[in-house]
Amino acid sequence: MPTTEQFNLHCPGFKAAGISCGIKKTGRPDLALILSDVPAVVAGVFTTNKVKAAPVIVDMARVKKGKAMGVIVNSGNANACTGKDGMKAALKMTGAVESALGFAEGEILVASTGVIGVPLPVEKAEAGVGPLVGALSYGGFNDALGAIMTTDAFPKAALASGRIGGKTITITGLAKGAGMICPNMATMLAFFTTDAVIGKAALSRALKDVVDRTFNSIIVDNDTSTNDTVLIFANGVSSGAEIKAGTPGYRAFCKLLFQAASRLAHLIVKDGEGATRFIEIAVRGAMSAPQARMAARTIAESYLVKTAFFGGDPNWGRIMAALGRAGIKMNEEKVNIIFNGVPVVRRGLDTGKEVEAAHAIKVKDVAVGIELGMGKADATVWTSDLSHEYVRINSAYRT
């Protein structure tokens, strides 16, 4: 698993800060702010869970307005399943920042991560807003990153930059979590900032497209949190021409965003609790893209496949059985399966290369190729194995 990497995290025209306000009993940093110097175009992708935390509900409404100044984030409490008081608490958090900085109501977004069903001690967050605003700086991204972590073993950041329309564009990303894998510590959060000049529609489309191929293509377990949130703020301070959907500049922007988001998504998988292997499941030759994706997801979500990889067992029968129940069109006699370059199944039958395959997968990174031979659609998902450590962490009592 990767060790902490120290980036010189920054993004032109954005300040950030992270402090301790006392929500976490450990006294570790638990309150972060990311703020644009000027009103930024904003887009978001949120949890599909019908039980949505209060901050998610707030942000979904605010993102629709198209512009925002920034986001305040607390860790240590998810403010989910907290009823009307939870909604009030989320609005108190944004209101405190808006007041402190003289913004109108609705210009600040909010995110929370931590325990579900426990009232958020919002007075601690409110009291923290003064020091938090005072700590804002262009170099404060690492502090903000530290304050959004819960049980993350390492911070997750990405910095991508490239030339678009003659200007250097930067995209900076901060993330925490791994789906809903922690004991009651819900949530995957990711925040991107960029100095690109891009409109609301193009930004939303780029974010949705990239999230589908990154954060929505990683599987740590089969749960979806009440708080999952991905936000991107584009403040336009690079002052180039506007990046419009469908242009080469748009494609270059999507490529940069994919670069940043896929890095964060892979780091999240690698931080999957107890994970010992990073596994890529690439399905090729499905009848349609949804079928390719369903096949890949079903394999990646199988307890049996994940425990087999933990054991270093090239157990292709479990992959075949997962394909069979994935609800896709398939013909067992057309299936090929390859483990790290070693073909273990050809046209549905064992190739006799089990010993070679067992050797090939006893590494940290495992690539599983599945050729369905039914059509031309492909999909790739990333997951981790299922270890003793996963059970230990997730069965530990919350207190």
Residue from 33, 330, 370, 381 that binds its own copies (CB under 8 A)? 330
When the beta carbons of 233 and 310 are compared against its own copies, the nearer one is: 310
215 binds its own copies (CB under 8 A): no
Residue from 168, 311, 341, 363 that binds its own copies (CB under 8 A)? 311
Residue from 108, 210, 368, 386 that binds its own copies (CB under 8 A)? 386
Catalytic residue at 4? no
Q: Are 46 and 60 in contact (CB under 8 A)?
A: yes
| Phi/psi at 296 (5° precision) | -65, -45
DSSP 192-241: EEE---B-HHHHHHHHHHHHHHTGGGEESSS---S--EEEEEE--TT--P
Task: Choose, from 150, 170, 172, 187, the residue flagged as catalytic.
Answer: 187
Kindly list the distances between the CA atom of residue 349 and the CA atoms of 253, 271, 312, 328, 332, in Å, as whole numbers in the listed order.
Answer: 44, 35, 21, 20, 9
Rounded to the nearest whole angstrom, what is the least distance from the CB of residue 70 to its own copies in the complex?
A: 28
Angle, CA 190 vertex, CA 209 and CA 124 arms, to 5°: 150
Amino acid (1-letter code) at residue 183: P
Per CB under 8 A, contacts with its own copies among 229-288 are: none
364 binds its own copies (CB under 8 A): no
When the beta carbons of 142 and 384 are compared against its own copies, the nearer one is: 384
Q: Residue 13 and residue 369: Cα distance in Å, rounded?
A: 43
Residue from 320, 373, 375, 380 that binds its own copies (CB under 8 A)? 320
Q: Are 277 and 390 in contact (CB under 8 A)?
A: no
3 binds its own copies (CB under 8 A): no
Smallest Cα–Cα separation from 168: which of 399, 11, 29, 293? 11
Rounded to the nearest whole angstrom, what is the least distance from the CB of residue 390 to its own copies in the complex?
A: 7
Which two three-digit tokens encode residue 210? Answer: 């990239």
391 binds its own copies (CB under 8 A): yes
The bridge status of strand 108-115 relative to strand 156-164 is unpaired
Binding segment for its own copies (CB under 8 A), chosen from 198-206, 209-217, 308-316, 368-376, is 308-316
When the beta carbons of 6 and 333 are compared against its own copies, the nearer one is: 333
Which two three-digit tokens encode residue 8? Answer: 């010189």
Rounded to the nearest whole angstrom, what is the least distance from the CB of residue 297 to its own copies in the complex?
A: 11
Number of residues that bind its own copies (CB under 8 A): 64
Q: Residue 30 and residue 24: Cα distance in Å, rounded?
A: 6
348 binds its own copies (CB under 8 A): yes
Amino acid (1-letter code) at residue 393: I
Binding segment for its own copies (CB under 8 A), chosen from 126-134, 199-207, 264-272, 387-395, is 387-395
DSSP 313-326: ---HHHHHHHHHTT
Q: Are 339 and 361 in contact (CB under 8 A)?
A: yes
Residue from 10, 15, 24, 52 that binds its own copies (CB under 8 A)? 52
C-beta atoms surrounding 25 within 10 Å: 9
What interhelical angle do 83-101 and 122-134 show, nearest 10?
A: 20
Q: Residue 161 and residue 169: Cα distance in Å, rounded?
A: 5
Rounded to the nearest whole angstrom, what is the least distance from the CB of residue 48 to its own copies in the complex?
A: 7
301 binds its own copies (CB under 8 A): yes
Per CB under 8 A, contacts with its own copies among 100-119 are: 115-118
Residue from 1, 38, 51, 61 that binds its own copies (CB under 8 A)? 51
Binding segment for its own copies (CB under 8 A), chosen from 62-70, 216-224, 253-261, 375-383, is 216-224
Residue from 38, 61, 83, 334 that binds its own copies (CB under 8 A)? 83
Rounded to the nearest whole angstrom, what is the least distance from the CB of residue 228 to its own copies in the complex?
A: 10
Dihedral angle sign, alpha carbons of residues 377, 381, 387, 393: negative
Smallest Cα–Cα separation from 206: which of 167, 239, 245? 245
Residue from 321, 369, 373, 380 that binds its own copies (CB under 8 A)? 321
Q: Are 354 and 369 in contact (CB under 8 A)?
A: no
Q: Are 148 and 113 in contact (CB under 8 A)?
A: yes
When the beta carbons of 102 and 397 are compared against its own copies, the nearer one is: 397
Q: Are 308 and 317 in contact (CB under 8 A)?
A: no
Binding segment for its own copies (CB under 8 A), chosen from 99-107, 163-171, 180-188, 257-265, is 180-188
Chain residues binding its own copies by CB under 8 A are 48-52, 78, 80-83, 115-118, 180-181, 183-184, 186, 221-226, 301-304, 307-308, 310-313, 315-318, 320-325, 330, 332-333, 345, 348-350, 358, 386-388, 390-392, 394-398
Catalytic residue annotation: 187
